[in-house]
Amino acid sequence: MRMPHTNKAVWILLCWLSLLCAPAFAQTCVPGYPQLYGRLFEDAQKALPDGKWLMDSRPTQPPAGIVAEYENLRAQPGFDLKKFLAEQFVQPPENDHDYRTNPDHDVRQHIDALWTVLERKPGTSDGRTSLLPLPYRYIVPGGRFNEIYYWDSYFTMLGLEESGRHDLAVDMVRNFAWLIDHYGHIPNGNRTYYLGRSQPPFFAAMVNLLAERDGKKTLTAYLPQLEKEYAFWMEGSEGLARGQAHRRVVRLADGALLNRYWDDCDTPREESYGNDVATAAASGRPLAEVYRNLRAGAESGWDFSSRWLADGKTLATIRVVDIAPPDLNSLLYNLETTLAEAYAASRQTDKAAQMRKRADERKAAILRHLWNPELGVFSDYLWKEDKRTDHVTAATLYPLFFGIAEQRQADQVAERVRASLLQPHGLSTTTIDTGQQWDAPNGWAPLQWIAIQGLNAYGQKDLATTIAERWMRLNIALYKKTGKLVEKYDVTGAAVGGGGEYPLQDGFGWTNGVLRKLIVLYPAAAKPDPAQARADAPASEPLAAQASSP
C-alpha cells in the first residue's frame, strides 16, 4: 500500500525528532510509537506477551500504511492480531541465536567466550527502528536486552578488564561519552523509548576504572562529559527554594541538596505499556502521577522494589519521586569527587575547590538525613515528610563503596547486613518478598559487588568473603548444571531467580562481569568440591528466555 505524501512526511519528522532532537529531549517528551500507531499500538501492547518486542522491531512499511491496513482488517471475522504483527514487523536478527555453551569450558572460559557473543558492532542510523546507533563496539546484557544499558555496563567492564578486553571497555566509555554529547545525558539504553530517563550515574566510576590502567589523563580526557552529566542531574538546583524539588534535584528544609530519580514523561512506558496501564488503573491515583513514578523507578535500575512502595507491597502505591535514595546520592558524591580530581589534574584549581565543597556538603547531608541509627543502615529518605523509611535494603552499602560512611556506621551496616540480608547463596536485595524482581529472595550481581568492595574498604573482610564465596558458588553450580549464567538468582536456594515483568534472562552481562572479577579476587571459591556444587544448585533450572514473538 502506498502511503499519502503528508502521512509519510509526518512519519519521517517523528522519527527524525526521536533520533536527533537530543539535548532538548532532556526536558521534554517527543512523540513516539503511541502517536505513530494509535489504536494499533494500544491493542498490540495489550495482546503481546512482551511489549518490548514491538518496540524493538522494524516495520515493513511506513507506520501510516500499517495503521491503514489494520483499520481495514481488524473488524473482519477471524482477524488474528498476532499474525498481523508478525507480517508487519520484523524482529532484528540476534547475533547469539545459534550460540551453544561449550561443555568443555569452565566458567572462566565460558565468560571469556561470551564477550564475543554479546558484542555489538557500531551501527548506522535507521529511522525505521527504535535503536540509537552507537559509534563504537559495545556489550549487551543478553536475552531480550539487545541494546547497551547504562549502569549494567560498569559491572560488565569489570569482567572485560579481567578477560584482557580493555579495548572493549574503552569503547563502552567512548559510547557513553558520545551519548552525553548528543543527548545531554546517558539514556537508560540506546533506544528512542529510553531517552526520557537515565539510570544510576556510573559514568564517573567507569572513567575511574579506565584511569586505573591508563592514568589520570583519562579524567581530563572525559572532563567535558563528566561536567555535562553533572549538569543533567543538577539541572534546576540554582535558586531552588527550600522544601522544593525540580526534576532530579531536591532542596531540603535545612538548605541541603540531594537528588532523586525522575522522568520528564508522565505516560506509560512504551515498552511496558500494558503493565503500566493496569497498575495505574488499580491505583486510585492520578494516572500521570503513577506513570511518572513507574518511569522514575525504571531510572533507578530497581524496577521494581518494595523500597519504592508506600505500603511496602503494592506497585500501585509507588512513590519514587518522593524519595532521596542513598545509592543515587552516593553515586553523585562520587561524580563530584571525580570532577574535583579532574579539575585539579587540568589545573583548574578554583573549580576543583568548588566541587570538593559540593561533595563535602553532599556527604554531610547523607550522613545527617539518610543514616538511620535505629536500624543501623542508610535508608531512603522521604524528603517531603522529613523522615527515613524503615526498609533494610542492599542500597545501604553504597555509602561504604564510595567511602562516605564513618567507621562506626560501616560496622553497624555490616552487623545489620549479616542479620537481615545475608542468605545461604549471597546477599538478598531486600527483606521483603513482594514478587517484584528487586526484592527478596533475589540477589543481583551488581549489589554483591557493591557490598563486597564496600565491606572490604571498612575492614569487614570476613563478611565480604562470605558474600563473595556464597555468590560465586551459586553462580558456578548453576552454570555446571545448566550451562548458563543468568540475570538474577534466588539467594535462599529455594528456586531460581524470578519475579518482575518478564521471564528470567540468560546472557548475562553484569553477572559475567562481576563473576569474572571475583574469580580473580577469590580463586578458591571458583573451585568448589563436587558435593558442595550439587548442594548449592537449586532444584529447578532457569529458562533461556528470549523476547517473545507474537
Say if residues 399 and 455 touch (Cβ distance below 8 Å): no
What distance lies between CA 410 and its chain's CA centroid?
26
CA separation for the pair 336, 319 (Å, rounded): 27
Active-site hit among 152, 276, 303, 536: 303
Strands (DSSP E) along 181-339, which ranges?
244-246, 249-251, 257-259, 323-324
Find all residues with CB under 8 Å of 452, minimum gap 6, and list them.
Answer: 464, 467, 468, 518
Query: Taking the CA of residue 399 as centre, how many other CA atoms within 13 Å lie in the half-sphere pointing to its CB?
Result: 33
Say if residues 516 and 509 touch (Cβ distance below 8 Å): no
276 has catalytic annotation: no
Angle between helices 407-420 and 445-457 (to 10 degrees): 140
104 has catalytic annotation: no
CA separation for the pair 72, 68 (Å, rounded): 6
Lookup result for grid cell 561470551: 114
Residue 59 parent element (H or E):
strand 58-59
Active-site hit among 487, 490, 506, 536: 487
- In this structure, the chain runs to a length of 550
For residue 92, give Cα distances in angstroms to 58, 193, 359.
7, 17, 44
Say if residues 269 and 276 touch (Cβ distance below 8 Å): yes
Query: Taking the CA of residue 102 as centre, how many other CA atoms within 13 Å lie in the half-sphere pointing to its CB?
Result: 12
- The four Cα atoms 493, 495, 501, 504 give a dihedral, to 10 degrees, of 90
For residue 550, give Cα distances in angstroms to 68, 86, 519.
20, 6, 40
Catalytically active residues, by annotation: 303, 487
